[in-house]
Amino acid sequence: MAKGKLLMGAAVLVTLIYVVKGPGADEAPEPVTVLIPSIGVDTSLEALKVDSAGVLEPPTRADKAGWYAKGVAPGDAGPAVIAGHVDSKTGPGVFFRLPELRPGAEVLVEREDGSKLTFVVSSTRTTEKTAFPTDAVYGPTPLSELRLVTCGGEFDRVAGSYRNNVIVDAVLKV
């Protein structure tokens, strides 16, 4: 019974975080740069949005990443989503080496106010695009987390895209 109350309490806390922090509430400064030293990533960020079908639009350039600007900002409770291309017709993209990230690797986020956050990778996984784990990537979390997303797996020449996504989960280092 105590375990059930604990789970219910955690669910209420997560819900309150999202309900109380409505429009006009204090928000974390916007991220401007992501650095991942272990795989050589150093990129500025552009604001990303979703298309009419609700799918996150990719960054406009293969050598730059972007963050879902209508979602959680890094440093706020919940998962901030940062996406980047794995490659382009001209060569490797900004997140080409993302599948190499292992638990313990650090991801640094610089924000517009000059503050810096360090996230620690907890997992790297590959999923089929047709089974994209939307709830796991965008769903509420009580901690400040980061989701790094790119394409992966086999390239489908007919569709003109990769069949999988690589997703890296990271948690704010305290």
Residue 9 lies in a domain: no
Per-residue pLDDT of the chain (174 residues; tens, 9 = 90+): 444 433 333 333 333 333 334 455 567 899 999 999 999 999 999 999 999 998 999 999 999 999 999 999 999 999 999 999 999 999 999 999 999 999 999 999 999 999 999 999 999 999 999 999 999 999 999 999 999 999 999 999 999 999 999 999 999 998
Please report, for the domain that includes residue 114, its CATH number: 2.40.260.10
Residue 74 lies in a domain: yes
Residue 7 lies in a domain: no
Residue 70 lies in a domain: yes
Domain count, the chain: 1
Q: Where are the alpha helices (DSSP H) in 24-164?
A: 134-138
Q: What is the rounded distance in angstroms from the CA atom of residue 118 to the CA atom of residue 120?
A: 7
Residue 6 lies in a domain: no
Q: Give the residue numbers spanning the domain of 97.
A: 25-172
Residue 150 lies in a domain: yes
Q: What is the rounded distance in angstroms from the CA atom of residue 171 to the CA atom of residue 158?
A: 37
